[in-house]
């Protein structure tokens, strides 16, 4: 039986950068909220919307 070569795990920073890049492709404001109602992820569109409402 042949086994596949082990692939190195994606480090946490790379995973975060990939997630952020994906979220920033969404053209609507987006947030991810955890079970404690804490915002754990958001995209640039959300930031732009939030900043324009405060002005």
Per-residue pLDDT tens over the stretch 1-55: 556 556 556 688 888 888 889 989 989 988 999 999 999 889 999 988 877 766 5
What pTM was computed for the model?
0.59
pLDDT score of 47: 87
The answer to whether the CB of 44 falls within 8 A of the CB of 26 is: no
Cα separation of 55 and 46, whole Å? Answer: 15
DSSP letter assigned to residue 35: T
pLDDT score of 38: 95
pLDDT score of 9: 61
């Amino acid at each position: 039986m042949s086994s596949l070569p082990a692939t190195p795990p994606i480090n946490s920073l790379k995973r975060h950068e990939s997630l952020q890049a994906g979220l920033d492709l969404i053209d609507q404001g987006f947030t991810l909220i955890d079970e404690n109602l804490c915002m754990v992820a958001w995209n640039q569109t959300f930031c732009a919307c939030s900043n324009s409402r405060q002005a």
